[in-house]
């Protein structure tokens, strides 16, 4: 399971992290912590020393994500797609990026995973990622 963690601490400093640990292995001392699972579409908050389900989006979670511009490789072989939480700047490293081969539809992910840990600035940026 991949978990996206967004926290706001006592000084209202926002942080973001990604982990493949199960939720029950994570703890935090932050005042507010939200975890978003890209596996089951659940949003959980850290409260009372445990993770509590806030909402489960299930398979609908992809519809809740903002889509970035579609980029096309100059040779016409690949399309690149970026997804992030609504309002995320394309320069922020909170995007998941996939590459689709136009001829056969093969899909691969930046960094070899669907984690929200990439920028989505422009074609040159996304072409520089390692996809698998």
Question: pLDDT tens digit string along 85-103?
Answer: 878 888 988 889 999 999 9
Asked if residue 108 lies in contact with residue 128, where contact means CB atoms within 8 angstroms, the answer is no
What is residue 60's predicted lDDT score, i.e. its pLDDT?
A: 46
Question: Whole-model pTM?
Answer: 0.56
Q: How many CB atoms lie within 10 A of CB 67?
A: 12
Predicted confidence (pLDDT) per residue in 40-97, tens digit: 666 677 666 677 776 665 544 555 678 899 999 999 999 999 998 878 888 988 889 9
Q: Please give the distance of CA 31 from its chain centroid, rounded to a whole number.
A: 22
Distance CA 76, CA 78 (A): 6
């Amino acid at each position: 399971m991949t978990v996206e963690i967004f926290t706001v601490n006592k000084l209202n400093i926002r942080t973001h992290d990604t982990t493949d640990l199960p939720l029950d292995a994570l703890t935090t001392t932050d005042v507010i912590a939200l975890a978003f699972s890209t596996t089951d579409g659940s949003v959980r908050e850290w409260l009372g020393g445990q993770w509590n389900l806030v909402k489960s989006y299930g398979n609908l979670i992809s519809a809740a994500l903002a889509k970035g511009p579609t980029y096309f490789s100059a040779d016409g072989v690949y399309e690149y797609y970026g997804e992030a939480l609504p309002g995320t700047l394309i320069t922020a490293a909170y995007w998941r990026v996939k590459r689709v081969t136009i001829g056969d539809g093969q899909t691969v992910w930046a960094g070899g995973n669907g984690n929200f840990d990439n920028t989505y600035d422009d074609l040159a940026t996304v072409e520089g990622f390692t996809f698998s």
